Structure 1
Amino acid sequence: MSLFLVKTRPVQRLYDRVSEASAALVISSYSSSFGLASRLLAGPVRGRVRNIYALVRIADEIVDNPDLSLGVESRARMLGWLHEDVRHALRTGYSANLVVHAFARTAIACGITDDMIDPFFASMQMDLETSTHTPETFDRYVYGSAEVVGLMCLRAFLADRPAGPERDAEHDRLAPGARRLGAAFQKLNFLRDLAEDYDLLGRAYFPGLVVDRFCDADRDRILIDIDADLAAAALVVPDLPPSSRRAAAAAHATFAELAARLRATPAAEIRRQRVRVPDAVKVRIAAGALYGGRS
């Protein structure tokens, strides 16, 4: 044993802090939009949500890494190792992988269990095995890759509520909206990343869509479905705890803005390049959520 590890408890607390700092670095490096919205979360909730999304980001990196030397079999093995590490960390509270350690601490504290984690990794595995989807596999993919992440975040939002029947009832009431917000975000990503997913990764997520014949009618059909998800999610945002309500409102408004921009963009242009919400607009949306959600 190293001399430097004699004081186990202080070192453990330091390791926890370093793991959370690592998760925060992953998020700030990969997602400016998430970083902006997360600032509207109360401090403890912000850390939990960052820990969740950092793991999601690492798994996504494994399946989408552009390094062509990493074949499908290598990626599948890496994804499996990550999944097993997460499952082990949930039972021990510890991982040598800093991001997994941060996630496990949050999962244990918030009640995130295998029934959310396993579908997530199953969807990530689908990206390595499936390039097109049926309606059934699409629904399963969206559930595992996005809806369960919404449910994980909901657990993080409610973790400061006293445990008991009231919190359980609140969770059950808010869960459908959390799922629909996650689904809307995922489908919006599929639509705006249509060109990159198809041309670089060989994936066409939307069932029945022929990407090379993508037209305005296809765009509108997809957006009608997304609009329904956003409408369902909007019903529960006002009922979230104040510690997370403003951030959720900002995320919802940003997704709605992206949907509007996609609807105003010709399908041929969506097929060629990524549509985005400008940073100045994101800041304006965040400010509106901040000052409109003080309660």
Structure 2
Amino acid sequence: MDIYRKNNLDCSRITTKNYSTSFSLGVRMLNRKYRSGIYSIYGFVRYADEIVDTFFEQNQEEIFNEFKHETDKAIARRFSINPILDSFQHAVHSFQIDRELINAFLYSMELDLHQTSYAPNLLKTYIYGSAEAVGLMCLQVFYFDEPEKYQTLKEPARKLGAAFQKVNFLRDAQDDFENKGRIYFEEIDFSRFDEPSKIRIEKEIEQDFTDAFQGLKQLKKEVRFGVYLAYIYYLRLFRKIKRAHPSQILKQRYRVSNSKKMYLLANAYFKNAFNLL
């Protein structure tokens, strides 16, 4: 079983690396004892997201329902022949990940199968499941044996997840709006996306980043650097998007260059090492 588990965890780790070099680098900055749980969560989240965002030539609803069912079975059996799900169920049991968080995530993913626009209340529900709940799963890995600390850091962790997701909305606006027909901010007309609308979203994101940072500074040193690295990568991406004209948001997908990421890595290492956050 040890070789089997290691192989399955390797699948989750490789999935993380292949889909997100930035996130993968952040995970590598964590203390070794936390990496397996985070890799396992990412692999699970990525596969669910792929079903609803990529496999348009397949019966997505049927595949997603199968994925949900297999997730339930894997957790109940403490075993799965699917390496990603076996890795995830092992993390669920090892770190006592709350089933409500898993259900909230799957509900948000399922919304993307049919929902094309999101009113404010539904958007809050979607962001909670698709991003905040994932952040809370990671927080449970970090503090599975410190429940009081987990409760203290819950709200900042949610804010960080919300900030990341809203930045993703702006980064992926072209693909979501033009190719998938999705409008996450229902009250904003993306066919006439203007400066006031963009500023309104950006103010929300700025507040989320500010609130999240207060919790980030309280993280244990074993995990703080990895989380801080993800934070500054997204903050730099957000600032790049802020400088862009609204018309450009629907014309290109913004990213942080590899050279800039290396600079941010060095800067983050220095600040974290000397407690300058």
Under a length normalisation based on structure 2, what TM-score does the superposition of the two structures give?
0.96
Task: Specify the code of the residue in structure 1 equivalent to 2:49.
Answer: D
Task: Specify the code of the residue in structure 1 equivalent to 2:136.
Answer: L
Find 1:130's aligned residue among 112, 115, 127: 115
Looking at CA atoms only, which structure, 1 or 2, has the larger radius of gyration?
1
Q: Which runs of 4+ in 1 moved over 6 A?
A: none
**In the alignment, is the contact (CA less than 8 A) between 1:184 and 1:229 conserved in 2?**
yes
Paired with 1:290 and 1:90, the residues of 2 have a C-alpha distance of: 37
Counterpart of 1:273? 252
**Could you tell me how far 1:25 is from its partner in structure 2?**
1.1
Counterpart of 1:4? none
**In the alignment, is the contact (CA less than 8 A) between 2:98 and 2:137 conserved in 1?**
no
Counterpart of 1:61? 50
Counterpart of 1:90? 75
**In the alignment, is the contact (CA less than 8 A) between 1:158 and 1:241 conserved in 2?**
no
Counterpart of 2:134? 149
**Could you tell me how far 1:113 is from its partner in structure 2?**
2.5
- Output one character per residue of 1:132-162: Cα deviation in whole Å (capped at 9) or x when no partner: 0100110000000000000000011123xxx
Counterpart of 1:39? 28
**Could you tell me how far 1:33 is from its partner in structure 2?**
1.4
Paired with 1:278 and 1:114, the residues of 2 have a C-alpha distance of: 37
Which 10-residue stretch deviates more, 254-263 or 16-25? Answer: 254-263
Gaps of 5+ in 2: none
Given the alignment of the two structures, is residue 196 of structure 1 paired with residue 175 of structure 2, yes or no? yes
- Output one character per residue of 1:165-209: Cα deviation in whole Å (capped at 9) or x when no partner: xx2211110010111101100010001110011111111111311
**Could you tell me how far 1:244 is from its partner in structure 2?**
0.8
Paired with 2:26 and 2:56, the residues of 1 have a C-alpha distance of: 33
Counterpart of 1:3? none
Paired with 2:169 and 2:271, the residues of 1 have a C-alpha distance of: 30
Paired with 1:226 and 1:112, the residues of 2 have a C-alpha distance of: 27
- Output one character per residue of 1:25-60: Cα deviation in whole Å (capped at 9) or x when no partner: 111111111112222111121221111011100001
- Output one character per residue of 1:236-255: Cα deviation in whole Å (capped at 9) or x when no partner: 11211111100111111112
Given the alignment of the two structures, is residue 80 of structure 1 paired with residue 65 of structure 2, yes or no? yes
Paired with 2:243 and 2:75, the residues of 1 have a C-alpha distance of: 45
- Output one character per residue of 1:251-293: Cα deviation in whole Å (capped at 9) or x when no partner: 1111211111111000111111111111111122122222221
Within 5 Å, which residues of 2 pair with 1:142-221?
Answer: 142-159=127-144, 163=145, 167-221=146-200
Within 5 Å, which residues of 2 pair with 1:212-291?
Answer: 212-291=191-270
The count of aligned residue pairs is 274
* Percent sequence identity over aligned pairs: 30
Paired with 1:258 and 1:13, the residues of 2 have a C-alpha distance of: 40
Counterpart of 1:26? 15
Paired with 1:120 and 1:187, the residues of 2 have a C-alpha distance of: 16
Task: Specify the code of the residue in structure 2 equivalent to 1:39.
Answer: R
Paired with 2:70 and 2:98, the residues of 1 have a C-alpha distance of: 14
Task: Specify the code of the residue in structure 1 equivalent to 2:153.
Answer: L
Q: RMSD in angstroms over aligned alpha carbons?
A: 1.2
Which 10-residue stretch deviates more, 143-152 or 194-203? Answer: 194-203
Paired with 1:79 and 1:223, the residues of 2 have a C-alpha distance of: 33
Paired with 1:124 and 1:250, the residues of 2 have a C-alpha distance of: 26
